[in-house]
Amino acid sequence: MKKLAMIIALALLTGCGSAKDNADSSKPVESSVYEVPTEETPTDAETSAEEAAEDFPLLTEGETGAVYNTDMKFHVTEEGVEYLKNGEVVQLLSVDTSSLMLYSDPESVLVEDDFDFDLYADLFVMTSFSPYNSLGVYFRYDPESGEFKEWPELSEIGFFAQPNDAAGILTVHEKGSAVDYEDRSYDWQEGKPVLVGVDRQYASGEEILIDHFTVTDGQEELYMREKLVQDDNGEFRQEEVPID
pLDDT tens figures, 117-166: 999 999 999 999 877 898 999 999 999 999 999 999 999 999 999 999 88
Q: Which amino acid is at 127?
A: T
Q: Are 154 and 115 in contact (CB under 8 A)?
A: yes
- The list of the chain residues with pLDDT below 50 reads 1-64
Q: pTM for this structure?
A: 0.71
Whole-angstrom distance, CA of residue 14 vs CA of residue 28: 19
Angular region, 219: left φ>0, alpha ψ -120 to 50, beta rest? beta
Handedness of CA 110, 115, 116, 118 (dihedral sign): positive
Determine the pLDDT at residue 8. 41
Residue type, 205: G
**Domains in the chain: boundaries:** 1-18+159-244, 19-33+66-155
Q: Is residue 139 a contact partner of residue 93, using CB atoms and an 8 Å limit?
A: yes
**What's the pLDDT at 132?**
84
What distance in Å separates the CA atoms of residue 78 and residue 94, rounded to the nearest whole number? Answer: 10
The reported pLDDT for the residue numbered 138 is 98
Q: What is the rounded CA–CA span in Å between residue 90 and residue 237?
A: 51
- Pairing between β-strand 181-189 and β-strand 192-204 as defined by DSSP bridges: antiparallel
**pLDDT given for residue 64 in this prediction:** 43
